[in-house]
Chain A
Amino acid sequence: MLSIALPTGRVLSEAQDLLASLGLPTAKLRKAGRSLVVQDGNCHYLLAKPMDVPLYAHYGIADLALVGSDVLAESASSLIELADTGRGRCRLVVAGPQALDSRFWGHESAIMGLRVATKYPRIADSHFASRGAQVRIISLNGSIELAPLLDLSDCILDIVQTGTTLEANGLVVLDEVAPVSLRLVASRRSAQLRWQEIAPLLEKLDAIREETL
């Protein structure tokens, strides 16, 4: 029996569709309600906050997990990233007031010391370091767009899907950080010891992606 950790919230229904297309049982999972552990056929599903999902696989509680590449990069957990499912697509961006735009196109000294509000402090640190700038990171847990409006930060680093929330708060995209999509990952132990159960799922996923393309 495989244990699979899934993120609650925005991408759960996409994850459920994906699992169904891989031939895994999802009837009980779709009716989980407030249950966080669901036994559905030969699968044991664990529902967790997106940011916590990689940890369940890292520590071996879950064999597999579906997790956003943003969360995966932020958690830096030691996992085997099996495949990009191509679902749950969005982008990680740096956003802020239009007035800041020109500073992102010049010398790195122009963005040195910026105050960046984010729920991805590790990604933010690494992204700005790769640009040669050391910034001040303000870790928040939600409503990130509020920070520059109230002068808590100069800009934000966050995911954006349609851009509506940014626009509603008078913010524009200043810099692209990375595309984001839902990834299928495995614990290091399961990728070695349960490969015979995992490999067929990867083959099905490949076939689905080829059909889509």
Chain B
Amino acid sequence: MFHSSMNRLPRGCRTVGGAKARAMERCRRTFMSRFASFGYDPFLPSGLQLIQSAWERLPEDLKDRTVCLTSPFGEPCCLRADLTLAAVAYLGAHHAPQERPLRLCYAERVYRTSPPPESDLESTQIGAELLGWDGEGADGEVLFLLLDFLQSLAIDATVVLGDTNLLKRAFQGVSADRAQSLTAALQQGNLADYAALVRGLPSPAADLAELPFLRGGPEVLRRGAELFGNEALATLRGLADTLKDLGMGDRIRFDLSLVRELDYYSGPLFDVYGGPSGRALGGGGRYDSLLADFGILGQALGFGLDLERVALAADEGEDRPERALAWAANLPPSEALAKALAYAERGLDLELSWLTSGEESLHLARLKGFSLWVDLRLGVFLDTGTGERTVPTGGER
């Protein structure tokens, strides 16, 4: 039994409100407007997908984690575990080849079980996809916009870059079985197992032994080129140069052993770190083969970030925006609302207080964590901490 006022949620589900929801919404708005201004259209895919359409195309690691159910019409479905698939399917079905490339951005919930020790079943993901381009520039564009967005939230973010093709090239001289085992060890982050597997190879492979240690700054690219050839590092070097020229060189690092599913990813891939969490904010990369699966030629790349983690990281990096409790001071509602609107239009976040007592209203402002309190009749602002008159940041309102 639980308390009658408790709306108990299924395990792994959550309702977000208060300051956290405000922070998430601020990040979501910043994200969507930043990407919209570069031609990324908002995208609102269905929450349910037909299993017969989705299953074969989902990345292997998502299949075990997908929530399956039957629709009221008896169709076997799964809850949307990933937005990339929906984006590619949308491109294939709604856009003629001459309309490509397609740029999409989204802020949507995804549903999937989390690997232990986490138990989340749902999260909100923000992300962007650039689909169907066939020339240079797309990788740089997406990474630049991603870093620019994180910078605008004052998140001290780092993108760790790897390249699926480099890894495929490095494993070329190894049998398919062993290459699969080596890849699996790297995917699991088990460097001890990886080292043991390399020691067990029929011929010595010092370059493979060194691979997981090639992580860090640009020096990693130089060493990688010595081991695997200049050509193998050309893509990463090109991206590094682009971002360096844009003043973002200190925001990128390299991990030449970074790997996800080799069959799914097809070029550069990346993880994004920022804020206090030991986990990545998210990641992305190139997945041209999924596009090819839909009969579409060209590149496909995109990324997804966990909005809650982004908001947490943004909270660390930036002062919270000022919020005021606006006391109506017993003015007629029309007059109080007009005055409140004037403040809101000048950029002040506020909430109205219709209490009759100014003292009670100020007390409420403190209880609810407002930094400012304003008497709408007199236009006087008080700092709720000190109780003294103040002027909101941004000058006289």
In the complex, what residues of A have CB within 8 A of residue B160's CB?
Answer: 192
Q: In this assembly, does A48 line the interface, its C-beta being within 8 Å of a C-beta of chain B?
A: no
A191 and B215 contact, CB distance less than 8 A: yes
Q: In this assembly, does A78 line the interface, its C-beta being within 8 Å of a C-beta of chain B?
A: yes
Q: In this assembly, does B192 line the interface, its C-beta being within 8 Å of a C-beta of chain A?
A: yes
Query: A77-B117, A78-B189 given as contacts; is B213 within 8 A of A189 (CB)?
Result: no
Contact count A vs B, C-beta below 8 Å: 69
Q: In this assembly, does B227 line the interface, its C-beta being within 8 Å of a C-beta of chain A?
A: no
Encode A80-107 as 1/0 by CB contact (under 8 A) with B.
1111100000000000000000000000
Smallest Cβ-Cβ distance to A52: which chain B residue: B117
B276 and A60 contact, CB distance less than 8 A: yes
| Residues of B31-66 whose CB lies within 8 A of A | none
Q: In this assembly, does A46 line the interface, its C-beta being within 8 Å of a C-beta of chain B?
A: no
Q: In this assembly, does B295 line the interface, its C-beta being within 8 Å of a C-beta of chain A?
A: no
In the complex, what residues of A have CB within 8 A of residue B271's CB?
Answer: 188, 192
B279 and A189 contact, CB distance less than 8 A: yes
In the complex, what residues of A have CB within 8 A of residue B253's CB?
Answer: 192-193
CA distance A81 to B115 in the complex (A): 17
CA distance A196 to B255 in the complex (A): 12
Smallest Cβ-Cβ distance to B281: which chain A residue: A189
Query: A81-B192, A195-B216 given as contacts; is B277 within 8 A of A60 (CB)?
Result: yes
Q: In this assembly, does B18 line the interface, its C-beta being within 8 Å of a C-beta of chain A?
A: no
In the complex, what residues of A have CB within 8 A of residue B115's CB?
Answer: 76, 78
CA distance A75 to B117 in the complex (A): 6
Smallest Cβ-Cβ distance to A57: which chain B residue: B278
In the complex, what residues of A have CB within 8 A of residue B216's CB?
Answer: 195-196
- What is the size, in residues, of chain B's interface with A at 8 Å between Cβ atoms? 23
A191 and B117 contact, CB distance less than 8 A: no
Q: In this assembly, does B287 line the interface, its C-beta being within 8 Å of a C-beta of chain A?
A: no
| Residues of B190-213 whose CB lies within 8 A of A | 190-193, 213
Q: In this assembly, does A55 line the interface, its C-beta being within 8 Å of a C-beta of chain B?
A: yes
Partner of B280, one of A59, A81, A189, A202: A189
Q: In this assembly, does A58 line the interface, its C-beta being within 8 Å of a C-beta of chain B?
A: yes
B278 and A188 contact, CB distance less than 8 A: yes
CA distance A26 to B394 in the complex (A): 51
| Residues of A132-157 whose CB lies within 8 A of B | none
| Residues of A38-81 whose CB lies within 8 A of B | 54-55, 57-61, 75-81
B192 and A187 contact, CB distance less than 8 A: no
Q: How far is the CB of A89 from chain B (nearest CB, A)?
A: 14
In the complex, what residues of B have CB within 8 A of residue A199's CB?
Answer: 213
CA distance A58 to B116 in the complex (A): 10
Q: In this assembly, does A183 line the interface, its C-beta being within 8 Å of a C-beta of chain B?
A: yes
Contact surface of B with A, Cβ cutoff 8 Å: 115-117, 158, 160, 188-193, 213, 215-216, 253, 255, 271, 273, 276-280
7 A-B pairs (CB sep. < 8 Å): A58-B278, A59-B277, A76-B117, A78-B189, A84-B192, A189-B273, A195-B216
Contact surface of A with B, Cβ cutoff 8 Å: 54-55, 57-61, 75-84, 122, 183, 187-193, 195-196, 199, 202
